[in-house]
Amino acid sequence: INADKTETTVAYNKIQEFEEFFELIGDYAKVGYAHLNILSKQGHAQKSWYKNIGEESGTPLSEIIGTYKYFHPDDRELILQFFEEVQKGNADKLSHKIRVFRDNGECTWTHVNLFVRKYAPQDKDIELISINYDITDLKQRGEMLDNERERAEASDRLEPAFLTNMTREIRTPLHAIVGFSS
């Protein structure tokens, strides 16, 4: 029996090509994607998803979910609390900025979006979609703008004080000169 698998091969190749482009776009835009079952801690994630949360690409999700060893403790607690609420059926989405500690000692920022795609705890399936993106550059620019704003405000406060001081400094000798010349 011969079977023509041309359509299957073409479809498979298109899927592969799409996945490669998706990975390329994710790397360039620093956007990561993962889907996972929080009950079995199984799923699939893109390389950029791993990178955004400080993990080594290819690490089994079961070793990451629930531990999040690179997250700031407050942010880790928030994510774990969200998972508990999802399992109870009380929450279905989360959008939060988290701090990620890197091996070199730096701290980066990642915006994490989590939402429930499928909720079937009776079938041991609570599927989450996770989309994260690195916002470290945005945070640094925001801090720089805040510093510049503070400097501008300080300059605005100093200008009237400077003018008042200078007016007094010029007026005092001027009175003496006018007094002597009279």
Q: Cα angle vertex 138, ends 49, 53, to 5°?
A: 20
What percentage of the chain carries pLDDT values higher than 90?
Answer: 54
**pLDDT at residue 107, as a whole number:** 94
- Residue pLDDT, tens place only, 25-80: 888 889 999 999 999 989 999 999 999 999 999 999 989 988 889 999 999 999 99
* Mean pLDDT value of segment 129-145: 93
**pLDDT at residue 85, as a whole number:** 96
Residue with tokens 């079937």: 120
- Residue pLDDT, tens place only, 148-168: 999 888 888 878 877 777 777
CB 31 within 8 A of CB 48: yes
